[in-house]
Amino acid sequence: MKRGRFAPTPSGDMHLGNAKIALLSWLQMRAAGGVFVLRIEDIDIQRSRPEITERILADLRWLGLDWDEGPGASEASGPYLQSQRTGLYEEALAKLAADGRLYPCFCSRAELLAVAGAPHGLSSEGVPYPGTCRSLSPEERERRARHKEPSLRFAIGPEAVSFVDGIAGPQVFPPGSGGDFVVRRADRMFSYQLAVTVDDALMGITDVLRGDDLLDSTPRQLHLYAALGLTPPAFAHAPLILGEDGRRLAKRHGDLGISSLRAAGTKPETVIGWLAYISGLLDDPVAVTAKELIPGFRLDRISHEPFMLTEAMVRRLLPGVSPS
């Protein structure tokens, strides 16, 4: 049976961009007769807020997006809060360390930015790591550790990574893409890459549908799946909703949070129909329930282009909501 998930981070209220991914992930599982899992990625304790988690749950219910496993539902594969799963991440780190795939890194972000220079630039995954600390001797590592707490990096192998994305199509990443990456920060917080890999595998997730801002993180996760002897899911990366500034939708673009839409009196069917329209699932932004979209859902119908949200569109499609 197919198993998909939506995994929001409770550091900010859910906005239209998050809701688009939640809707598509939900539709993928409901159309396949699968299991939809809700996982809360609150591993960053300093930024995560329990009250935001509660608002996310309320927003999903308001949109008509129920879940089979997760907070308030079955806990067959739980716990569903990352903050309660740290022991599982420790076990994964221990296996990687035993296999010689980890090494301490003493580089600061400022140092990496200085090394990267203009030709490298920054992707959503940050600066490609040049391997500075990979070849340090045991003696040098011990000396540096006396003065600075290191992060832990995963040493990627020499192989290229390729996979077929359910929306973006065939993807090929050359050997060494992005460089060795952090799996535990110097403050001992586990990285997204490690946590999401362990969680999806142990929860039996077969299909991951998420925003295409995470497309270039997929090779790193596939390296981890292989190193940990885990089976990776099928991936599908959907285009984002952008603001008029060309950047992905966020708080800076105004009152476009789902909670704000609810408070403004917008009907959930209006939001669902509009999200389906910009995703390529409807020819016109008509009001519709999420359940009504299930029979016609297919991955190949999802638009491959990002959608730029203008102020005029907000006023026409979502009256009563301030776009800025």
> What pLDDT score does 319 carry?
60
Confidence of residue 4 (pLDDT cuts 50, 70, 90): very high
CA neighbor of 183 nearest in space, from 97, 246, 264: 97
> What pLDDT score does 308 carry?
85
Tokens, residue 225: 């799946």
> What pLDDT score does 318 carry?
63
Confidence of residue 118 (pLDDT cuts 50, 70, 90): very low
Confidence of residue 128 (pLDDT cuts 50, 70, 90): confident
Could you tell me if residue 64 is left (phi over 0), alpha (psi between -120 and 50 degrees) or otherwise beta?
A: left
Task: Name which residue leads in pLDDT, 307 or 91.
Answer: 91
Confidence of residue 298 (pLDDT cuts 50, 70, 90): very high
Percent of the chain with pLDDT over 90: 75
> What pLDDT score does 323 carry?
52
Backbone angles phi, psi at 313, to 5 degrees: -65, -40
Verify whether residue 251 is a known catalytic residue.
yes
> What pLDDT score does 321 carry?
57
> What pLDDT score does 45 carry?
83
Task: State mean pLDDT over 124-142.
Answer: 85
Q: SS3 letters for the chain? A: CCEEEECCCCCCCCEHHHHHHHHHHHHHHHHHCCEEEECECCCCCCCCCHHHHHHHHHHHHHHCCCCCECCCCECCCCCCEHHHCHHHHHHHHHHHHHCCCEEEECCCHHHHHHHHHHHHCCECCECCCCCCCCCCCHHHHHHHHCCCCCEEEECCCCCCEEEEECCCEEEEECCCCCCCEEEECCCCCECHHHHHHHHHHHCCCCEEEEEHHHHHHHHHHHHHHHHHCCCCCEEEEECCEECCCCCECCHHHCCCEHHHHHHCCCCHHHHHHHHHHHCCCCCCCCCCCHHHHCCCCCHHHCCCCCEECCHHHHHHHCCCCCCC
Q: 262-285, pLDDT tens digit by residue?
A: 888 889 999 999 999 999 999 999
pTM of structure: 0.91
Q: Say if residue 253's pLDDT is above 50.
A: no
> What pLDDT score does 99 carry?
98
> What pLDDT score does 46 carry?
85
- Average pLDDT of the chain? 90
> What pLDDT score does 302 carry?
97
Cβ proximity of 206 and 4 under 8 Å: yes
Q: 36-59, pLDDT tens digit by residue?
A: 999 999 998 888 999 999 999 999
Confidence of residue 261 (pLDDT cuts 50, 70, 90): confident
Burial class from Cβ neighbours inside 10 Å (0-12, 13-18, 19+) for residue 270 reads middle
Q: 199-250, pLDDT tens digit by residue?
A: 999 999 999 999 999 999 999 999 999 999 999 999 999 999 987 777 776 5
Task: State mean pLDDT over 1-5.
Answer: 98
CA neighbor of 78 nearest in space, from 69, 87, 86: 69
Q: Where in the chain is the domain with CATH 3.40.50.620?
A: 3-84+239-317, 86-238
Cβ proximity of 38 and 76 under 8 Å: no
> What pLDDT score does 6 carry?
98
Q: CA-based angle 303:277:248, to the nearest 5?
A: 65
- CB under 8 Å to 29, separation ≥6 — which residues? 2, 3, 4, 35, 36, 207
Q: Say if residue 130's pLDDT is above 60.
A: yes
Cβ proximity of 63 and 292 under 8 Å: no
Q: 12-40, pLDDT tens digit by residue?
A: 999 899 999 999 999 999 999 999 999 99
Task: Name which residue leads in pLDDT, 126 or 35.
Answer: 35
Task: State mean pLDDT over 281-308.
Answer: 95
Q: 82-95, pLDDT tens digit by residue?
A: 999 999 999 999 99
Task: State mean pLDDT over 53-72.
Answer: 97
User: What is the chain's alpha carbon radius of gyration, rounded to the nearest angstrom?
Assistant: 21
> What pLDDT score does 124 carry?
45
Cβ proximity of 232 and 222 under 8 Å: yes
The CATH number for 3-84+239-317, chosen from 3.30.420.40, 3.30.70.1450, 3.40.50.2300, 3.40.50.620, is 3.40.50.620
Edge to edge, the sheet with strand 151-154 lists 102-105, 151-154, 181-184
Considering the segment(s) 86-238 as one domain, its CATH architecture is 3-Layer(aba) Sandwich (3.40)
Catalytic residue selected from 2, 20, 148, 251: 251
